[in-house]
């Protein structure tokens, strides 16, 4: 298991989780409810989006980054989640590493 992202904005975490769900990357949100409890003695536990498999970390972070940042190149192109190369829209596999085009 590996922490991917911590945020007090659990709505945003839920949105990111749905992106990972669609990519079939196993993940869950930890501490989703505890964040709503105020506790002055200990640090509140922040909601954290966690990956079940450490090996998914690179793919998951690249996937979320592509949702975060605007595409630098034309919208006709897609960014390979595996190697970050941009590909023409007509390519179904990454020209560089043959990764499948993300949805
Ligand atoms: Zn690639």
DSSP per-residue string spanning 18-87 = HHHHHTT--EEEESTTGGGS--SSSPPPPPEEEES-GGGHHHHHHHHHHHHSPPSS-TTEEE-TTT--EE
CATH of residue 32: 3.30.70.790
pLDDT per residue of the chain (103 residues) written in tens, 0 to 9: 999 988 878 888 999 999 999 999 999 998 876 545 554 444 557 889 999 999 999 999 999 888 765 555 556 788 999 999 988 888 889 999 999 998 7
Q: What is the pLDDT of residue 66?
A: 81
Both tokens of residue 18? Answer: 């749905």
* Verdict on whether the full-model pTM lies above 0.75: no
Q: Which residues surround ligand 1, an ion (CB under 5 A)?
A: 80, 82-83, 85, 94, 96-97, 99
Distance 45 CA to ligand 1 centre (A): 36
Q: Are residues 43 and 77 in the same domain?
A: no
Question: 100: CA distance to ligand 1 center in Å?
Answer: 8
CA of 13 to the centre of ligand 1 (A): 26
Q: Is 49 found in the same domain as 7?
A: yes
């Amino acid at each position: 298991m590996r922490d991917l992202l911590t945020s007090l904005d659990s709505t945003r975490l839920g949105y990111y989780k749905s992106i990972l769900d669609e990519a079939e990357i196993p993940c869950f949100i930890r501490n989703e409810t505890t964040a709503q409890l105020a506790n002055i003695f200990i640090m509140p536990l922040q909601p954290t989006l966690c990956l079940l498999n450490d090996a998914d970390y690179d793919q998951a972070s690249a996937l979320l980054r592509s949702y975060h940042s605007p595409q630098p190149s034309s919208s006709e192109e897609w960014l390979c989640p595996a190697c970050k190369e941009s590909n023409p829209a007509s390519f179904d596999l990454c020209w560089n590493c043959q990764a499948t085009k993300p949805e």
